A and B are shown apart, each in its own frame.
Chain A
Amino acid sequence: MSLSFTSNEMMTIAAARALRNEDVCFVGIGAPSAACNLARLTHAPHITLIYESGTIGTRPNVLPLSIGDGELCDTALTTVSVPEMFRYWLQGGRITVGFLGGAQIDRFANLNTTVVGDYHQPKVRLPGGGGAPEIATNCGEIFITMAMGKRAFVEKLPFITSMGHGVTGRERRALGVKSKGPTRLITDLCVFEPDAETKEMKIVSIHQGVTREQIAENCGWAPSYAAHVGETPPPTAQELEVLRDIQARTKAAHAA
Chain B
Amino acid sequence: MAAFMDMAAAIEDNVRNGDQVAMEGFTHLIPFAAGHEVIRQHKKELTLIRMTPDLIYDQMIGMGCARKLVFSWGGNPGVGSTHRIRDAVENGWPNKLEIEEHSHAAMANAFEAGAANLPFAMLRGYIGVDLPKVNPKIKSITCPYTGEQLATVPALRPDVGIVHGLRADREGNVLFEGIVGCQKEVILASKRTIVTVEEVVDDFGPRSPNAVILPHWTIGAIVVVPGGAHPSYAQGYYKRDNSFYIAWDKISRERDTFLAWMNENVMSKTAAAFAVHGKK
Contact = CB atoms under 8 A, between A and B. Distances in A.
B32 interface: no
B126 interface: yes
A176 B108 CA distance: 24
Q: How large is the interface on A (under 10, 10 to 19, 20 to 34, 35 or more residues)?
A: 35 or more
A177 interface: yes
A70 B239 contact: yes
A134 B71 CA distance: 16
B235 A70 contact: yes
Interface residues of B, number: 53
A234 interface: no
B124 interface: yes
Contact of B179 (A79, A134, A138): A79
Given A29-B78, A53-B179, A65-B245, A177 B104 contact: no
A82 interface: yes
B86 interface: yes
A77 to B, nearest CB: 14
Contacts of B111: 83
Nearest to A110: B128
B274 interface: no
A73 B28 contact: yes
Interface in A141-167: 159-163, 166
Nearest to A131: B104
Contact of B103 (A85, A119, A131, A255): A131
Contacts of B52: 130
Contact of A66 (B51, B77, B82): B77
Interface string A83-114: 10111001100000000000000000000001
B28 A171 contact: no
Nearest to B111: A83
B129 A163 contact: yes
Interface in B240-262: 240, 242-243, 245-246
Contacts of B75: 126-128
B224 to A, nearest CB: 22
Nearest to A174: B128
B123 interface: yes
A37 interface: no
A132 B130 CA distance: 13
Interface stretch (B5-13, B180-188, B190-198): B180-188
B105 A131 contact: yes
B131 A133 contact: yes
B1 interface: no
A227 interface: no
Best-surrounded residue of A52, A70, A171 (most CB of chain B within 10 A): A70
B218 interface: no
A161 B130 contact: yes
Interface string B142-154: 0000001000000
B26 A254 contact: no
B119 interface: no
B103 A73 contact: no
A30 B78 CA distance: 6
B37 interface: no
B4 interface: no
Contacts of B79: 65
B209 to A, nearest CB: 15
Given A70-B178, A129-B129, A255 B86 contact: no
Contacts of B276: none
A182 to B, nearest CB: 12
Contacts of B77: 29, 65-68
Interface of B: 26-28, 51-52, 71-75, 77-79, 81-82, 85-86, 89-90, 101, 103-105, 108-109, 111-112, 123-131, 134, 148, 178-182, 184-185, 233, 235, 239-240, 242-243, 245-246
Given A70-B233, A133-B105, A133-B127, 15 more contacts: A53-B26, A67-B27, A70-B28, A79-B178, A82-B108, A82-B181, A91-B124, A119-B134, A120-B134, A125-B74, A125-B90, A128-B75, A129-B73, A134-B103, A177-B128
